[in-house]
A and B are shown apart, each in its own frame.
Chain A
Amino acid sequence: MTKSIPLRLLVAANLFTTACGTKTFSMTGPFKALVVAFSRTNTAGSTEFAVTEKQFRTLTNFNELDGTYLTIKRGGTLGIRQINGSIVQADSFSGGSSPGLRYNVKSGVAIPMDYSTLAMLSAYYQIDEIYSTLEEKTGIAPATLQALIPGGKHIMLFEPQVKITGNGTDVTLGMKLNAAFSPIDKKFLLFQRSPVEAVPLAGNFQVLTHEFGHFIFDYSFFASKYDAKNRWADEWTLKGFNEGFADFVSWTFTDSTDILRASINIKKIADERDFGKTTFTFEDLSGDDPTACGGQFYCVGSLFARSLVQTWTAMQSSVTKKEMAAAVIDTLKLCQDDMTAMDVAILPIEKPATPVLTTAQSYERNGKIAGGFLRAFVLRAPTKLKGELCTAFKNNFGIHGFPQLARTGSCD
């Protein structure tokens, strides 16, 4: 018995070492996985989703979630100077690790073993789907946008920590319940999941096409030269038009005007952003706390998105959605220069730091800037769309959001 002790210890030690091994996750192409995917917008206008098998078309390294147009990094710390809705001005990024996916492979399909894996695979799939259908939906070739991205592909940050920088004080926090786009470095951000979410933002095609819409606005209106110091980047009204255009792009891909509800089913918030059903106009946005819409510049965005969709609806017998999207994008490319050169009587000069404007003064000023933008847009739009655009802009922006001076010579 004494002689068998070393042997038993040796066996035990050897097999204990086996217990310290780690399962290897590997996958060979074509890459397929169970992901959260958009199914359709039904006849009632509600969106439907599925957790189902999908094939990735642009993914080249499965475990790293690295492909032609996108790579996903997990965690890390993102330095942010400013957040405006779903647009962030990112300063820096450090850390970040490979996704660390955990999955089983059954019949060539990756089955996620935890929520984070499901979320990251779903997020990759949404961008994969966008780029795979980009030209079909908008007329933009993927290579055109890819050329604008530093390094040739987006980086998507999955659940990063956020460090708000500035004023000498840095605050690190874990933000939740938001997705964002950084126009400076073309990154996408998916913040930490929240129990308030219904469909995870990471798997919501409506949300990610909205964020992609900011990329297209950056490409078109800002000629991909977004600069935080650019006057238009800082204008409240232009932030609104940026958000509205992003909602329009989401509608282009999904046929849905109800962008948020599937993920954030908080009635007041979702109702305000459903630009197909809201009825407020720019006239209703005066005052400190307008009850018609409390979403600040998002309200201006809803008016713009509603106007574009109403224009297409009136013209759909002769204009396809793709033609409409392409026309809007081409028009935006020409707007910034026209606005910069516009008479100050129509479009006020840059807002002075002091004196601080009153609420009424801000409202009047914002209305003039909105009018200046709409004037430039109409003047540069294709002739066949001008009539319906003018009708929609007048109805939705009223006399304060599209002043008479801005209409003269564009929407007389």
Chain B
Amino acid sequence: MHLFRTLIILASLVSLIPVTFAQNADEKTPTAPSPLPPNDPSNLWATPKPRANVVEQKIWSYAAGLNCSWSRRLDYGNIYFYRFEPEISGFMYSPLPIERLWLRHGVRLGYSNDQPQMPQAVRLQETDWKASIEEGIIYNSIVAMSLTAGLGYDWRKITAKTTSPITVQDSRLNSSELFLWSYLQAGFGVSALAGKYMFEPIVRWQHLTSDSRTNWAYGLEMTAAW
């Protein structure tokens, strides 16, 4: 039931995209009130690229890259452990009928095997694989500000490792769990080479349904566009 409802969430979010573009398709020219020349330096992402086989003019831009992020997790008493959780991301941009405002549709894949300090003879190692889809709004300017909401899954494998003088280990310590991952993220991007590359520090508030140790993550997202 849990998985079924989640699939409905994902389907609902994905279905919003053609709705947006369907609206644009009803209009003849989906551009901002004062369209900027394609090569204007301040027109960072919105270089019009008419797609083949499309009657109406649509503006698509794509980007992909790497996010070096750390989640802040309560591990040592009430002291935080900053866990390295790198991600790869892919984005599609589509314009909104407001100047400089864009929708950013994204997918994100993450992995982490970073562990806090633990004794040598008994360790519970947590390995995470994460996947999400996200929708964000980005304001295209010298500093590109974005606000994004995401939803996905975290699959965690827990591996117990014991050594002497621990001579017996109950195998039930090894387990895996699948839980929902949701987040709100703010970014402040700076681009280079007329928008070809973006460096975007992000701060993310996140929620994992069975892990309340972590709520905040920070990172630097580096993407290249085409």
Is A341 part of the binding interface, using a Cβ–Cβ cutoff of 8 Å?
no
Alpha-carbon distance between A109 and B168 when the two chains are bound, in angstroms: 17
**A10-22 contact mask (Cβ, 8 Å, vs B): 1 or 0:** 0110011011111
Are the C-beta atoms of B207 and A111 separated by less than 8 Å? no
Whether a CB of chain B sits under 8 angstroms from the CB of A34 is: yes
Indicate if A193 sits at the interface (CB-CB under 8 A). Answer: yes
Question: Is B209 touching A46 in the complex (CB atoms < 8 A)?
Answer: no
Q: Please state if B76 and A159 are interface contacts (CB–CB under 8 Å).
A: yes
> Given that A95-B78, A174-B76 are known contacts, is A11 also in contact with B118, CB under 8 Å in the complex?
no
In the complex, B8 has a CB within 8 A of chain A: yes
User: How many angstroms between the C-alpha atoms of A106 and B9 in the bound complex?
Assistant: 30
Of chain B, the residue at the smallest CB distance from A25 is: B210
Across the interface, do B5 and A193 meet the contact criterion of CB distance under 8 Å?
no
Is the C-beta of A403 less than 8 angstroms from some C-beta in chain B? no
Partner of A51 from the list B5, B19, B23, B122 (CB cut-off 8 Å) is B122
Contact for A75 among B77, B126, B166, B177, CB less than 8 A: B77
Residues on B with beta carbons closer than 8 Å to the beta carbon of A111: 172-173, 175
Using a CB-CB cutoff of 8 Å, which residues 115-139 of chain A contact chain B? 115-116, 118
Kindly supply a per-residue 1/0 record for chain B positions 108-143, scoring 1 wherever the CB is within 8 Å of any chain A CB and 0 otherwise.
Answer: 000000001111111110100000000000000000
CB nearest neighbor in A for B78: A75
A9-B11 Cα distance, complex, nearest whole Å: 11
Q: Which of B162-179 contact A (CB under 8 A)?
A: 162-163, 165-170, 172-173, 175, 177, 179
B78 touches A22 (CB 8 A): no
Contact B77 A114 (CB under 8 A): no
Q: Say yes or no: is A198 at the interface (Cβ < 8 Å to chain B).
A: yes
| Complex-state Cα separation, A34 to B9, whole angstroms | 37
Q: How far is the CB of B114 from chain A (nearest CB, A)?
A: 13
Mask: chain A, 87-107; 1 = CB below 8 Å from B; 0 = not:
000000001010010101010
Q: Among B19, B165, B173, B180, point to the contact of A47 (Cβ < 8 A).
A: B165
Nearest CB of chain A from residue B74's CB, rounded to whole Å: 7
Q: Does B99 contact A (CB under 8 A)?
A: no
Is B75 in contact with chain A by the CB < 8 A criterion? yes
Q: Are B165 and A21 in contact (CB under 8 A)?
A: no
B119 and A19: CB pair below 8 A? no
Residues of chain B contacted by A196 (CB below 8 angstroms)? 120
Picked from A18, A47, A52, A75, the residue with its CB within 8 Å of the CB of B5 is A18
User: B163-199: contact bitstring with A at CB < 8 Å (1 yes, 0 no)?
Assistant: 1011111101101010111100000000000000000
- In the assembled complex, A301 has its CB within 8 A of some CB on chain B: no
B interface residue count range (under 10 / 10 to 19 / 20 to 34 / 35 or more): 35 or more
Q: Tell me whether A100 and B166 are in contact in the complex, defined as CB-CB below 8 angstroms, given that A15-B12, A19-B9, A193-B76 are known contacts.
A: no
| Residue in chain A with minimal CB distance to B168 | A50
- Whether A320 is near chain B, meaning CB under 8 Å from some CB there, is no
Contact between B173 and A46, CB atoms less than 8 A apart:
no
**In contact, B79 and A8 (Cβ under 8 angstroms):** no
B160 within 8 A of partner (CB):
yes
Complex Cα spacing A113 to B8, Å: 29
- Complex alpha-carbon distance, A34 and B169, angstroms: 9
B119 & A200 in contact (Cβ 8 Å cutoff): yes
> Which of chain A's residues have a CB closer than 8 A to the CB of B78?
74-76, 95, 97, 159, 161
Query: What is the chain B residue whose CB lies nearest that of A201?
Result: B119
CA distance A111 to B173 in the complex (A): 6
Report how far A113 CA is from B210 CA in the complex, Å: 10
Q: Considering the complex, give the chain A residue whose CB is closest to the CB of B73.
A: A114
**Is B79 within 8 A of A36, CB to CB?**
no
Check A19 against B207 for contact (C-beta < 8 Å): yes
**Once the chains are docked, how many angstroms separate the CA of A106 from the CA of B170?**
13
Residue A112 lies at the interface, judged by CB distance under 8 Å to chain B: yes
Q: Which residues of B contact A158 (CB under 8 A)?
A: 77
Q: Which of A15, A95, A115 contacts B123 (CB 8 A)?
A: A115
Q: Is A409 on the interface with B (CB-CB < 8 A)?
A: no
Q: Would you call B53 an interface residue if the criterion is a C-beta within 8 Å of the partner chain's C-beta atoms?
A: no
Q: Is A160 an interface residue (CB 8 A)?
A: yes
Closest Cβ–Cβ distance, residue B136 to chain A (whole Å): 15
Q: Are B173 and A8 in contact (CB under 8 A)?
A: no
Partner of A12, one of B13, B77, B212: B13
Residues of A with C-beta under 8 A to B49: none
Given the complex, which residues of A lie within 8 Å of B121, measured CB to CB?
49, 197-200, 262
Question: Are A20 and B182 also in contact (CB < 8 A) when A1-B19, A113-B175 are?
Answer: yes
Interface string of A182-226 (1 = CB under 8 A from B): 000000000011111111100100000000000000000000000
Besides A12-B16, A22-B212, 7 more A-B contacts (Cβ < 8 Å) are A12-B12, A18-B5, A47-B165, A48-B165, A74-B77, A111-B175, A118-B122
- Write 21 A-B pairs (CB below 8 A) sorted by A numbering: A2-B19, A18-B5, A19-B207, A19-B209, A20-B209, A23-B209, A39-B167, A39-B168, A49-B121, A50-B169, A51-B162, A52-B168, A75-B78, A111-B175, A114-B213, A160-B77, A192-B79, A195-B119, A198-B165, A199-B165, A262-B165
Pick the 4 closest A-B CB pairs, nearest first.
A75-B78, A159-B77, A50-B168, A23-B210
Residues of B within 8 A of A (CB): 5-6, 8-9, 12-13, 15-16, 19, 22-23, 74-79, 116-124, 126, 149, 151, 158, 160, 162-163, 165-170, 172-173, 175, 177, 179-182, 207, 209-213
